[in-house]
Structure 1
Amino acid sequence: MSRIPPSQQLAELARQLAAQAREGTEVEDLTHALVRLGARKLIQELLEAEVTELLGRGRYERREPGQEGARNGYKPRTLRCAEGRLEIDVPQVRGMEGLCQPTLWRALKRRTDVLERLVVEMYARGLSTRDIEDALAELAGSEAPLLSRSTVSRITEALHEEFEAFAQRDLSGLDVVYLFADAIYESLRRQAGCREGILVTWAILSDGSKVLVHLSLGNKERYEDWLEHFRDLVRRGLKTPLTVTTDGAPGLIQAVEAMWPEAERIRCWVHKMRNVLDKVPEEARPVLKPYLEAIRDAPDIEQGRRLVAEVVERFGREYPSAMRSLQEDLEASLAHLRLPAAHRKHVRTTNLVERSFEEERRRAKVIPRFRSERECLKLVFAVLWRASERWRRVQFSEHERKQLERYIEERQRQRAAQKEVSPAATVA
């Protein structure tokens, strides 16, 4: 091990660089290199001075009677700052209870960690890298940026690391009751005129909490894309949900029925009402909408079917296309009426993540086109994950649990009856 302290080694490196510059030798980005060395040297000297003061003696000086502690070498560490990553050799102390690193180093790390978290949060909440650079310069009271745009971009890569950990985590501990699936589309610079689909699933668990489950890429929201998305969930241990709420995308519906045939599929009522009302004149929408809401809010599924029949009877001749849209996928549209009344408004739509998509779209206006899939994924994840942390719980009282138990028993009886009927139908 070298007997020369790191601060002296850095001073020698700085002298060599300066000598090369004086002799005319080309040194790439000399100013940047000298600033980095100067910063490292200053920090090293301060750390070594703190240890000397703490121990009451310099390097290789004998310990006097009654003195505690001893130097225990150095540990290589890194510190991020405006000039990038600085390599620092942090002196270690042994033989003094509760002390392992200099106080200055702990303070430096706290300041660095706070600054990096601030940068990540500013980026996730709507500021571009240029905005962050300017904002930090104003906070520092200097025209020179505290962090450059390139440094901000590097720091925000922590979001992609968070996403990768999120996308690989074990899901076997999630006791999913209700699952939801939807997609958002974003533009990429390398694919002019092409929008990248991001498939999103989230869930309501048996304790009432709402969680973001997974994000993945799916160019056109095809059956194959959604099926692979769901297979990934199952590979990581996700249990079969009781229900799955979707919009009317054919590929999504097909994938849900292929992956979880025993789950009840629920058609999103926000999309359903929008599809129906788009097929009538604008002046007729205020008339028809209360009828649709009455169907959606029916006390049970039988009453829901009766209301559909009455609405079709009343408006079928005048608005046949709208009535066909209402009857399309009808059982899935009414399936939420089998669930506990307290849960229906939470399960009948994909509105929860739709509102989060609105936040993401406001953020994406800062970046009209993402440069890469990586940049797109890390930002969408950052926005949706932070929104999910504010989601409110759903009530799961003893009453709702008993209703769910009866619902599950009824579903099991229905499936058993279907299995008994199927062989007879085949013989006939």
Structure 2
Amino acid sequence: MTDYSRNIYAESSDGRASLKNLLREVIESFLNSLIEQEFNNVMGYGKNDAAGRSKLDTDNYRNGTYTRELLSTCGNLSLTIPRDRKGEFRQELIPQYARRTDDLEDTVIKLYSYGITNRETAELLFSLYGKRYSASTISNITEAAKEVIDKFKTRHLNRRYVALYADATWLNLRRDSVEKEALHAIVGITDEGKKELLAYSVFPTESASNYEQMLLDIRGRGAEEVLLIVSDGLKGFRDAAKRVFPQARTQRCWVHLLRNAGFLVRRSDRARLIEMLKGVFRQPDRETAERTLRNALGLYGRLYKKLYTLFADRTDLWTLYEFPEPIRRSIYSANIVENIHRQLKRRTKRKEQFPNEDSLERFVFSFAIDLNKRSGDRIQPGFLQCRKELDDMFEETYPKNR
């Protein structure tokens, strides 16, 4: 870990840093890195580089540091300004009497939001400040990004989640060649009804084993009690989820089922079939829902035999009816995570591809902290109304955790 970014990990070990604190740390590390590089250029050698100093014919040398406070929209920044014995160093990045960093904050946020490469970072800095920073400085900035992202991805989570939602979307990523890869995401709703993007990771293909790794990570970060896990019915997912959270119930996404059913019938029959199937999960109880599904299959199954195959496994079609009615509209599908993916895809339209995995990581990190900030303390519909019933479900499902 680099010296300038050690303070990123200096907070309490539970990792509950707010978005504001994370951005403050990013900006502070970024500025201190550039100031240190400016000083190295003046001195002709780097910090702790005794060999480099010995090669220079000079009696000037490092003479400690002083601290300068700078106001930012994310809080006060503590800048460490190096000094030399002769007082020749005058850092140019921050004007002497400036007390704000608005332009620099925009710069740092761009480095994360656009998922740009090291070369693009160097060009951006040059266009803004008219300076060519060294490859090591650019590398340090990238390293700082990785460390802050790691902190976000390993932060401590809530102990209880009413529901987890798992789904993937596809983005163009260059390795040796450009191919679409699966960005997996898991979203959670806490026992207080608050939505949060818990984990994301990119893999070449979508698979149950990938989600199992992510669920293990979520459990390891403090999520002990989960009532429900919603997914699109990916082969092997249910078993993978049960291995990590054995007591959790599973619900297959009805929106995915409707979508798949639509592909199995003629266009002329599609609209009516979909409307009938929508009536299934809108029923007030499981018995009526099962009867509604039988009616739909009875009408169209004789024409399209594959519909029976699609609905052959009904193990986790009806789990939503085990939960209070006010939240069923939130748990019958994985729409929560699909909506997040749609927002993400809108932001990626300006990028035809991501040049590497680190670039994609920085982009999704920026999106994730923005999403969680916007979700904030917003309560999902129905959860507050049935909080007592959900608390009772946690007590019944996880009695040994009391």
Match of 2:268 among 283, 295, 310: 283
> In 1, distance between residues paired with 2:307 and 2:128?
58
For 1:98, the equivalent position in structure 2 comes to: none
Deviations 1:294-324 (A, max 9, x none): 1021111121111111111122111222343
1:313 and 2:259 are equivalent in the alignment: no
Aligned partner of 2:156 among 162, 170, 183: 170
Cα distance in 2, alignment partners of residues 354 and 124 from structure 1: 23
What amino acid does structure 1 have at the position aligned with 2:274?
K
Task: Name the counterpart of 1:253.
Answer: 238
Matched, 1:89 2:79: no
Identify the match of residue 344 of structure 2 among 360, 376, 383. Answer: 360
Kindly state the Cα deviation for residue 184 of structure 1 after the two structures are TM-superposed: 2.6
Alignment of 1:12-91 (within 5 A): 36=38, 75=65, 88-89=81-82
Equivalent of 1:262 in 247, 259, 266: 247
Q: 1:161 aligns with which of 138, 147, 152?
A: 147
Q: Corresponding residue for 1:115?
A: 103
Among the aligned pairs, what percent are the same residue? 25
Looking at structure 1, the residues matched to 395 and 182 of structure 2 have their Cα atoms a distance apart, in angstroms, of 38
Which residue does 2:221 correspond to in 1? 236
- Between the aligned partners of 1:38 and 1:234, the Cα distance in structure 2 is 45
Deviation at 1:160, TM superposition (A): 3.3
What amino acid sits opposite 1:115 in the alignment?
Answer: D
- Going from structure 1 to structure 2, the CA distance change for 1:408 and 1:176 (only over 3 Å counts) comes to closer
Query: Contact (CA 8 Å) 1:360, 1:383: kept in 2 or not?
Result: yes
SS at match of 1:346: helix
Cα distance between partner residues in 2 of 1:290 and 1:380? 35
Cα distance, 1:203 vs structure 2: 0.6
Matched residue type, 2:261:
V
1:419 maps to none
Q: 1:121 to 1:147 in 2, by over 3 A?
A: farther
- SS of the residue corresponding to residue 81 of structure 2 reads strand
Matched-pair contact (CA < 8 Å) for 2:297–2:307: no
Partner-residue secondary structure (3-state), 2:318: helix
**Aligned partners of 1:300, 1:256: CA distance in 2, in Å?**
26
Q: 1:256: how far off?
A: 0.9
- Bigger shift: residues 147-156 or 194-203: 147-156
**Matched residue, 1:83:** none
SS in 2 for 1:322: helix
Q: Is the 8 A contact 2:114 2:363 kept in 1?
A: no
2:251 touches 2:316 (CA, 8 Å); kept in 1? yes
Shift of 1:210: 0.7
* 2:344 and 2:367 in contact (8 A); partners too: yes
**Structure 1 position 332 matched with structure 2 position 325:** no
Between the aligned partners of 2:284 and 2:97, the Cα distance in structure 1 is 61
DSSP-derived class of the 2:225 partner: coil
Structure 1 residue 346 and structure 2 residue 330: aligned? yes
Pairwise CA distance, 1:363: 2.9
Deviation readout 1:187-239 (Å, 9 max, x if unpaired): 33224254333321111011111111112343322333222222222222211
Spell out, residue by residue over 1:71-122, the C-alpha distance to the aligned partner (whole angstroms, 9 max, x if none): xx85256999xxxxx983369xxxxxxxxxxxx98964632xx334312444
Q: Which has the larger radius of gyration?
A: 1
Q: TM-score, normalised by structure 1?
A: 0.63
Deviation per CA, 1:30-54, whole angstroms, max 9, x where unpaired?
A: xxxxx9579979xxxxxxxxxxxxx
Counterparts of 2:122 and 2:346, CA distance in 1? 20
Deviation at 1:372, TM superposition (A): 2.0
Which residue number corresponds to residue 15 of structure 1? none
Where structure 2 has 5 or more consecutive residues not aligned to the other structure, the ranges are: 1-36, 44-62, 71-78, 85-93
Equivalent position SS for 2:386? helix
Cα distance in 2, alignment partners of residues 193 and 135 from structure 1: 25
Contact 1:79 1:87 in 2 (8 A): no
Which 10-residue stretch deviates more, 153-162 or 285-294? 153-162
Higher relative contact order (Cα pairs below 8 Å, separated by 6+ residues) = 2
1:162 CA drift (Å): 2.8
| C-alpha distance 363-401 of structure 1, shift in aligned 2 (>3 A) | closer
Provide the secondary structure at the position in 1 that maps to 2:100: helix
Q: Distance in 1 between matches of 2:187 and 2:324?
A: 20
Q: Does 1:198 align with 2:191?
A: no
Work out the CA distance in 2 between the residues paired with 1:360 and 1:232. Answer: 23
CA distances 1:142-195 after superposition (whole Å, capped 9, x unpaired): xx5447798899757654333200122222x44211111112333332242543
Aligned partners of 1:332, 1:261: CA distance in 2, in Å?
15
Change in Cα spacing, 1:186 to 1:127, as seen in structure 2 (3 Å) is closer
- 2:226 aligned counterpart, secondary structure: coil
Residue 385 of structure 1 is matched in structure 2 by 369
Give the distance between the partners of 1:217 and 1:38, measured in 2 at CA: 38
Whether the 8 Å contact between 2:160 and 2:225 is mirrored in structure 1 is: no
Q: CA separation of 1:37/1:389 partners in 2, compared to 1, >3 Å: closer, same or farther?
A: closer
Amino acid at match of 1:339: F
